[in-house]
A and B are shown apart, each in its own frame.
Chain A
Amino acid sequence: MAEHVSTYYVPPPSRWPVVGSVALLILASGFILLLDKMPVGPYVMALGAAILVYMILGWFGNVVRENQAGLLEGQVDASFRWGMVWFIFSEVMFFAGFFGALFYARNIAVPWLAEAQLLWPGYNGQWPTSGPGITEAFTPMGAWGIPAINTLILLSSGATVTWAHWGMKRGSRSQIKLGLILTIVLGLVFLALQAHEYAEAAFTIKTGIYGATFYMLTGFHGLHVTLGAIMLTVITGRVFAGHFTPEHHFGFEAVSWYWHFVDVVWLLLFIFVYWL
């Protein structure tokens, strides 16, 4: 519990959450319509997404204003820290589900299929595999080309965001700005290389369990990098707008935690999806 705090800020009634619920309902409905091949789907999705963006801008705008007014310090700040830690933990568990699928398929399901010669004569279960029923040959993604370079890029971006944090603590705004911009640029280069790799890949998401786990894991990771880059951009904008002090800059720290989390997920991906 915070020792030197005198207020816990309880925000006034807000319309943003309900707007967010409506947005998600519309977005989800549009997605369902799209999946079931109804032409109206994309438009409904676009509407939902627009409302969602409106909600995010409004809600985070509120939070930033409250923050600038000094309402979110002390114990509230501690709440945000706890909240972010648990949020990242939930993200870890989301990826754990997909990694679990990869490990299970590779170590249990595929060897089992290879044993079932009664049903799949001649299947040897050699990883990477597209399974006994998909016979087209494919070339798996190697580890030591672009993926290795991407590992270096993402690790460097972890270093630059930490360097920016040092700048934040020293109060050197030019160091923060440079650090953040470098981080964003590295993130974008990473995404570009990933996109290039997808375009060049000799297999698709339909290429059996290998294609499924590869694209789902790297795809969700890429989505998280994209989100992280957007959040870094917002934080950079706030730095330019003169927000944050050497003592109070949790918005910045939260995003850098998130960035490090995305980094660690990539390392696991590199080891288990590309390398081993």
Chain B
Amino acid sequence: MESTMTAVHHEEHPSGLARWLTTTNHKDIGTLYLWFSFAMFLFAGSLAMLIRAELFQPGLQLLSPAVFNQLTALHGLIMIFGAIMPAFVGFANWQVPLMIGAPDMAFPRLNNWSFWLLPAAATLLIASFFAPGGAMAAGWTMYPPLFIQGGISYDMTILAIHILGLSSIMGAINIVTTILNLRAPGMKLMMMPLFVWTWLITAYLLVAVMPVLASVITMLLTDRHFGTHFFSAAGGGDPVMFQHIFWFFGHPEVYIMILPAFGIISTIIPTFARKKLFGYTSMVYAVASIALLSFIVWAHHMFTTGMPVAGQLFFMYSTMLIAIPTGVKVFNWVATLWRGSISFETPMLFALAVVCLFTIGGFSGLVLALVPVDIQLQDTYYVVAHFHYVLFSGAAMSIMGGVYYWLPKWTGHMYDETLGKWHFWLTAVAFNVTFFPMHFLGLAGMPRRIPDYALQFADFNRIASVGAFVLGLAQLLFLYVVVKCIRGGFAAGERPWDGADTLEWTLTSPPPYHSFTTPPNLSK
């Protein structure tokens, strides 16, 4: 296809704050997303530090149980909706147009709105700490009837999530449209970089499930204020119905937070193994299967609610099936490494750690999939360990790896490799010190979401708290490395990684404000 498509751009843009408020540029918006997510990561991380400080030893030291519950609820909510999801959208903003040779996102103004809704929602969430009675304290899962009992901050939470959902839906529509409509001429779907594929599927999941979350929290709101009985038995409703609808959103949601991570890992590993990704086609099919399966596994979060046997077995079997495509991905990564020419720059260290640690999280997920074992482990620290292995060492460490990988492209400078490695090792070791003992705590019977615990849990809690403080401090080092890299450093050149072969590396570093105004033609 001989196309001479060019983009119409307006080269002039305001400077200072007005630039960031009004920008329609995907790179600017990507940067905003990434900084916002980093800020939320540090904020929600400091909530976690307070939680671990309280749990350092038995007894109540720092916090009242009421405040403790607020911290656990908001830590989860903000990490998920404020840190991890926006970080991945930030990557999508920066990378998707660059990797498919598009001039920008499909809807640049809408893109700006998707971002600027986030601070509005964050304002509501953070302000809710100062509302009478404090912030929402019913867990990030917001189960009624406990949620119905809360005060004004619970309404603030609902409205904040509505705004976050609006932002996610618009962001996802933008990404899907960009990928489907703005690929460079000649780039067929099965030629797209895997990161783009994972985001295409993630965006589809987002559009499918965020509205379901919106509907269920609307029911919470009407139950609280308008006298409906969706979740009250007296009126013929059912508190467990909330859990069904919530987890119909919630399970795809956890894949929303891990599929783009798979995309990042599948980009980094071939680069530093200097070898093409093994099994590209099966990777695409694996991601698609995970996404499809995610719609029929939700009730595995609810085995203890008391489903009939047939329900328990169905959701157990479907959940176990997810191990197959997930396994395929891990096997493909190992096969990509096999007989490569491997080097260990910081992004690669993060990617390798993700492969190992995410696999541990996958195994504990398989253990939890089995109904009888789940009955013992549901709502214990084992579950806390499990989802931090998939969400911290899966999602968050992929994000960190991705930041190191693309920082040279974004800033034009190399980051400090020594400090980057320090950051990696501190994070990886402290992460395991924090969360590995939680498996034992859960097995031994420590429930989650409790501010104080029986004496037999004291040792592992102390270890976990020490690990958590190191883990938290290590992220300040990350902040330092990123700022240092933005301020200067060795010039990165177009392609600092000799094994990288996607389109963004054909541009200068940093890329021009408007890139691919004439799309590269790949059909030759």
Contact = CB atoms under 8 A, between A and B. Distances in A.
Are chains A and B touching in the complex at the 8 Å CB cutoff?
yes
Given A7-B7, A14-B24, A209-B230, A83 B237 contact: no
A263 to B, nearest CB: 19
A205 B233 contact: no
Interface stretch (A101-109, A146-154, A155-163): A101-109
Interface in B87-133: 102-104, 106-110, 112-113, 116-117, 119-120, 123-124
A134 B235 contact: yes
A120 to B, nearest CB: 8
A242 interface: no
Given A90-B210, A93-B212, A100-B248, A83 B24 contact: no
Interface stretch (B78-86, B172-180, B487-495): B172-180
A90 B24 contact: no
A198 to B, nearest CB: 14
Interface string A8-41: 1111111111101110110011011001100000
A37 to B, nearest CB: 10
Interface in B1-49: 1, 3-10, 12-14, 18-19, 21-25
Interface in A83-115: 83, 86-87, 89-98, 100-101, 104-105, 108-110, 112-113
Interface residues on A, range: 35 or more
Contact of B236 (A1, A89, A119, A130): A130
A207 to B, nearest CB: 8
A132 interface: yes
B517 to A, nearest CB: 9
A10 B9 contact: yes
A20 B113 contact: yes
A20 to B, nearest CB: 6
A97 B163 contact: no
A112 B238 contact: yes
A32 B156 contact: yes
A86 B176 contact: yes
Contacts of B117: 20-21, 24
B244 interface: yes
B296 interface: no
A29 to B, nearest CB: 7
| Interface SS of A by simple majority | helix
Given A35-B155, A79-B107, A10 B24 contact: yes
A17 B208 contact: no
A10 B120 contact: no
Given A8-B8, A94-B214, A132-B233, A212 B113 contact: no
Given A6-B6, A18-B21, A90-B211, A24 B181 contact: no
A105 B236 contact: yes
Contacts of B209: 93
A232 B125 CA distance: 37
A133 B212 contact: no
B228 interface: yes
B235 A131 contact: yes
Interface stretch (B141-149, B218-226, B496-504): B218-226
A110 B234 CA distance: 10
Interface string B230-258: 10111111101100110010000000000
A34 to B, nearest CB: 9
Given A8-B103, A28-B162, A109-B236, A96 B155 contact: no
A101 B219 contact: yes
A185 to B, nearest CB: 30
Contact of B177 (A59, A79, A105): A79
Given A28-B162, A97-B245, A1 B8 contact: no
A217 B181 CA distance: 34
Contacts of A31: 155, 159
Which of B25, B113, B176, B180 gathers most chain A CB within 10 Å?
A: B113
Contact of A13 (B24, B103, B207): B24
Nearest to A109: B238
A21 B116 contact: yes
Nearest to A94: B211
A133 B207 contact: no
Interface of A: 1-3, 5-18, 20-22, 24-25, 28-29, 31-32, 35-36, 59, 62, 71, 75, 78-79, 82-83, 86-87, 89-98, 100-101, 104-105, 108-110, 112-113, 119-120, 129-134, 204-213, 215-216
30 contacts: A3-B3, A7-B5, A13-B18, A13-B22, A13-B23, A15-B21, A16-B109, A17-B109, A17-B112, A17-B116, A20-B117, A22-B120, A24-B163, A24-B166, A28-B159, A78-B181, A87-B169, A90-B169, A90-B210, A97-B212, A109-B233, A109-B237, A119-B233, A131-B236, A134-B229, A205-B227, A212-B222, A212-B235, A212-B237, A216-B218
Going nearest first, the 3 A-B pairs with the smallest beta carbon separation are: A133-B234, A97-B215, A131-B236
Given A24-B120, A109-B240, 8 more contacts: A11-B24, A13-B23, A79-B107, A86-B207, A204-B227, A208-B229, A209-B236, A216-B222
